[in-house]
Structure 1
Amino acid sequence: MLQNLLSSLCRRISTSCCRSGKYDYLFKVHPSVSEALAEQRPVVALESTIITHGMPYPHNLSTAKEVEAIVRAEGATPATVGILEGVIHVGLSSEELDFLAQSKTALKVSRRDFPYVISKGLSGGTTVSGTMIAAHRVGIPVFVTGGIGGVHRDGENSLDVSADLIELGRTPIAVVSAGVKSILDIGRTLEFLETQGVCVATYGKSKNFPAFFSPQSGFTSPYNVHTAEEAAELIVSTLSLGLQSGLLLAVPITEEHAAAGLQIEGAIQAAVAEARLKGITGKYVTPFILQRVSELTKGQSLQANIALIHNNAKVGSQIACALSEQMKSRQSGLRGSSKTQEEKNHLLKPKPVVIGGVNVDFIAKGATKNLLFGQTNPGSVHQAFGGVGRNIADCLSRLGHKPLFISAIGTDFHSDAVLNYCKHMDTSAIVRLQAQRTATYCAVITERGELSLGLGDMDIHQQIKQQYVSQYEEQLSSASLVVLDGNIPVSTIDYVCSLAKKHSVPVWYEPTDADKAGKPFLSDSWKALSYTSPNLTELCTMNHTLHLPTPEAFPNSLEDVLKCAAALSRPLLEHLQCVVVTLGALGVLVCGDYEAGTVSLQPRKHKPRGRLCAVYFPALAVRSEEIVNVSGAGDSLAGGMMAGILQGKDTDTCVRMGLLAARLSLSSCHPIAPSLTSDAINPDAAYSQPWTKPSYLWMDN
C-alpha cells in the first residue's frame, strides 16, 4: 500500500494535476513546486488569506516572503496557494505575491467559495480548508499555517463552526499550526475534531494543547511527538492507512515569545469580557475582539503573530524534510534500489567556493535627518548577520548555487547565532576557534540608510590562513567559481590564486574596502583573477599598488566618472577578464573582452586577444523612503551577477540580476534580503518597468 501511495504522490507533479484531467486548466503549479514533487523533495504548502485578509500591507507581503525564505532555508520548497483570475495557483511568484498583498478586491476562499470565484475569474486568498484542498490535489502532504479555525464561543447555539474542522475530517493532509486562538471555544473544537476522526498531537515534550499566543490552553492533546522524525512517522502512518482524514500538529509558542504571548492572552480575555458586556454576538464577535486586542496590546499582537508563523514554518519545514527522507527510504527499501547514476553525478557536480569573513552586525539607524555626535540620538538598533564572504555565500545559496563557505568564527555566544541563521548555507567549512571572538561590526546609519560611522572587531578574519584553507584543495581545484573577499590574509589569497591558475579555475575578488583592495596586487597573484568588483576608490588603490597613475580627485559629472573608471580598469584587463566598477546610486560599469556586442562574462581558460569595451548600466530607481540600509547592496549585486554567470546567462541578464538583488537588499534590514529568490531577480518577470538601455563607453584594439 505504501509503495502505491508513494507512486501516486510522485505522479501528481505538473500543472495538469486534477485527478480527472478534465479540469486541468483550473490549476497552475509553479515550476519549482512541480520539480520538487517530481524529485520527491520536501514541499510545504502555505495559505494566502494571511496575505489578503490577515495583516495590513506591507506587513502581509514581507511576512509572506519571510515565511517562504524560512521554508527554503530549512531545505524545503514553499508552495503558497492562491487564486488569480479564476486559476488556482500552487506556488506563487514574487509578482503574484505582490498582487495579492496589494489587492483590494481579493476574496477569502474556502471550499464553498471555489466554484463562484473560479466561474467569475476572480482572485482571492485561500483559507486553511481551501489550501488543504489544493495542496492535497497536487500531492503536497504538509501544510503550515498560523492557527486553524474552530468552534466559536456560543457555537452550540449559533452553529458557527469553521470549515477548517470539516476539511480536516475528510482531506488526508498534515496541518502544522499554533493550535486554536482562545477567542474560540477550544474544548468544543477538540471534541469536534475527535468526532471528525482527526488525529491531534502537540509538537514537543508536553501534551498541552496550545492556544496560539499561549503554550497552554487548559486542554490536552491526545498525543504528542517529540521530534520532526516522530511527526513524519505519524504522517506516514496516517497516509498509509488510507483513512482519508487529516492530522493536526499543534506547535506551542516559543519560550522567547511566551511572556508577550501571556500579555496578549490577557488582552484577549479582557476583550471577550468587554464583548459580553456590550452585548456583541454572532459574526460581530470575532472582528470586535481582534480589533480590541490590537488596541490593547498597541500592535504587539501583530508582531507575536508574525513570530508564531515564522516558528511554525520552521518546524513544519523540518517535518516535511523528515517526511521526504522517510518516504524515500521506504520506497528505496521496497524497490531495493540504490542511488541512480544521475544522483551520483549531481553530488559530484562542481560547485562554487567562497572564502571570506562572517560578521555579526549591529545596525543603529537614526530617526532624524541629522545625527548629532557627542549625544544620544533617537533611532532603532537591530542585529543582522553580515561579512562580505558570508553575504555572497548567502546570496548564492538563496539563488540555487550552494557554495562551500570557508570562514572562521569564535566559540562565543555569537557563533551559535551565526550558524543557526546560516542553516540554508553550506557552513561545514566554517572553523570554530577557541579563545577567539566572532567578528562583530557596529554601523551607525542615517535616516536614509547611508553609513555615518562604522566600528569593527574583525581580527579573527586573519585566522582564515593558508594552512586551514588548504584542507579544501580538492574542492578549490574543481570549483565552478572561487570567490575571495579582501578580509582574508594576503598569504591565503596568494595560495588560492596559485591553485586556481594551475587548474584554470575562475576567481572573483571582492575587495571589501579601499585599504584591502590592493592585496592581490602586491604580487603576481592578481594575474590569476578573472573578475573583480571594486568601487572607484578601491579601483584607485589597485592601480596605486601596481604603481600606476591615479587621479588626485574624482570627477563630478557622470560622463567623466565613467571615463575615469574605464581608464583605471584598462590596465587590469591585461590579465583580468572583467572589471565590474560599482558606482553606487549611479549604477555599474562593466569592462572587459568584447564579444557579440557586449562584454563577455562567461569564464574562459585562455584570454583571447581582441577588442575591449566598457558598458554602463544605470542603477534601478529606488525611492528614498524604500531604502532601509545600503550595507549589503554591493555584495548582492556581485552575488546576483555570479549566479547569472554560473547559469550561463548573457551579460545583460547577469547585470540585471545583480541590480535587482541590490535593490532588494536596499529595502531590507538584512544585508542579503531573506526574500531573495531566483524569481525575485528574474529580469523578465521581476521588473515590469522598461530597462534603461545600457550604453557603450569605449572600445579599442
Structure 2
Amino acid sequence: MIAWNAVAPWRRWSGGRSIGALPLWLRRSYGLSSSFLKVSEEVQDAVVAGRPVIALETTIYTHGIFSPVCLDYAQILLLINSGVHRGGEVSMDISADLTELGRTPVTVISSGCKSFLDIPRTLEYLETQGVCVGTFADGRNGPIDFPAFFSRESGVRSPRVIQDEAEAAAIVHAQLKLHLSSGIHFANPVPEQYSMPKYEMDEVIAEALRCADLEGFHGSDNTPYVLSKIKELSGSRSVAANKGLIESNVKRATKVAVELMKLEQSFQRRPDQIEQNLGGVGHNVALAASYVGSSVAFCSVVADDLNGQAAMSMLRREKLNTMGIQILPPMLGLRTAQYIAINDRKKNLVLGMADMGILELSDRDLSFDTFWDPIFMRTKPDWLVVDANWSPGVLARWVTSARKHGARIAFEPVSTTKATRIFSKISTPAETTAVIDFSDSFPNHLIDLAAPNSMELASMHSAARDAGLFDSSGWWHVIDGLGMSNAGSRERLISVTSKSLVDQGIPQQSIQLLPFMPCILTKLGSQGVLVSQLLQPNDPRLTCPDAAPYILGRAPSQDGLVGGVYLRLFAPDQVLTGEEVVSVNGAGDTLLGVVIAGLARELGKNEERRLENIISVAQKASIKTLKSPDSVNADIKNLAMLFK
C-alpha cells in the first residue's frame, strides 16, 4: 500500500519487524499514537516527513502456504488476496477488502487476485466501487490479461495497461490532486520464470475447489484449505511462485513510490523562489542583441498603468532605445501585457499564463502608419525581429513595412498556437490574404530566418500544409531545383542529424518550409540547434570540403534559383546539470538575439560563411542565460569580442 501522501527514499529494515502504514483517514481518526495501533518510530517519522510509506499485508503466511521469510526490504507493499469468490453471485461471498478499497485513497500493488476466485466478477465489483484498475505491461505490447496470481495469464483482459512505474505514479498523483475517495489497484504479473501455465493451474484449482466442497470447507475456512491443497497438488511449485511474486511486488511498489516522490517534488512550490523580471520575447531578443554590441530599437506597446510605468523604468535602466514603445492612455481600459511562468525544480516549464490582450489590437488601433512606419524610415534597420505575439494583421504590417524599407526579417514563433499566425488568413474589406501566401516563395520570400523550437516547427509545418502552400507552383519549383533524391534520403538525414530527430520529422519539416523561410534555426534544448538553409548557387559552402558533409542536396546546374540545402546539427556548447540551470525562460530568445546581432555585423560581407561561427557564440550566450535568474544574462557582453 502506497500511502496516499507518500514517497521517499527507501532504507533497509530488519526482516522480523512488523511494519504498517497509516492512510490519511486512519491518522485523522486515531493519530499516530493510539492504544489500538502500534506504529514503529521509523514509520511515524516517515509519515510526518511525507516520505514514502509502503506496507505489506498478506494472509499467505497465516494461511499456511509457507513459513515467513526475511526479504530484507524496507519497501513493503500490500499484497491482496481478496476478491469475489466463485459462486459469489449466489453466496455474496465478497472480500471486505474490495469494499474498503472503494472508499479509501490507497494504492494496492499485487499479482492480481487468487486464481480460484472469480476474476471477471472481481473486476466488475472494483469498477462498481470506483477503483481504478490496471496491469503492468512488464515488457509486453498490446492488450494484456489481468494476472491470476500464480499465472501471468487469466483469459480476462485488464481494464488498462500500465507501461511503467512513472505512468503508475502519474495516475496516483492525479488521483490525489482530484481528492478522490476511492483507491487504485495495479496488478503486477508474477515474474515469468515463476509463472505456472494457466491450463495447469486451472486443473489444480478445479481439483482443490472440488476437494474443499467435498470436505465441507466454506466461508473463512475455504481459502486456507484451498491454498494448502494447491500447494500439495502443484508439488510446492505454488510456494516458489508466491516467493517470486512477493519479491517482484516489493520491488515494483518501491519504484512506483520513488517515481511518485519525484513527481510530487517537481510540483512543490516555494514562495521564496517567486521572481519578477521584465521579459517577453521581443524584449529578450532586443536586450541580447544590444548586450553583444548591436544598435537596437525596441518596439512594443504598453498601457499607462503601474506595470507599464515599471516596464518603461526598467527599459531605461537596461539602456534599451525606447523610441519604439507606444504608450496607450488609461481611457482605453487596456493592461500592459503580463506573462507568468511556473517551473518545476528542474526548471522545466509546467504552466504558462499570459494576459496579452493589448498586443491583439488591430494595426489601425495601434496607429501603425503614424507611429511605427516613420521609425522605419528614420532608422533604416538592417534586420527586423518580429514575434507572433502580434495579431496576424499587425504581424503582416510589420513584415510589409520591413520589406518596404529594405530590412531583412527574422520570425520568432513564441508558441505552438501563435506560430501558425504567419500562415493565418487575414480578412479585409477588399480581400482575404495571409502573412505568407502562395506567391511568397524563394526568391520572393518575406521571412529570411525563423527560430522555432521543435513543437513550434511542427505547428508551422502543419499550418503551411493545411493552407495548401506545399501544393503551390513556387514551392515545387524550389524543391525540384534542389535535386534531392528519395533514394537513401532517410539514412542521409540520420547521418547529418540523428535517428531521434528524423523519427520526429524535424529535419524533414524544416526542409519543406525552406522555400518560404530560407533559413530555419530549430532550437532543440539539450540536443543543440539544427540549422536548415537554402544556399544560393554561388554560395562558397557548395565547393568547400569542410561543408561537404552538411550539403544535403545540390542543384543540377548553377543557373537555377538555388544551389543546394545546408543541414547541420550544432551540439550544445555545454550540457548543464539540473542544479546548474536557474531559468530556461530566456535561453532561446538570447540565442536568437545574438544570432541576429552577428548577422547584422556581417551584412554585406561573407555572412553565409559566418553563420557557423555565429551559432557557436549564440550557444555560449544561451548557456549563460540558463545559469542566470535574469531573462538575459548581462555577462554575455563579454562574448561581443568573439564577433571581431
TM-score by length of 2: 0.44
The structure having more radius of gyration, on CA atoms, is 2
Bigger proportion of residues as strand: 1
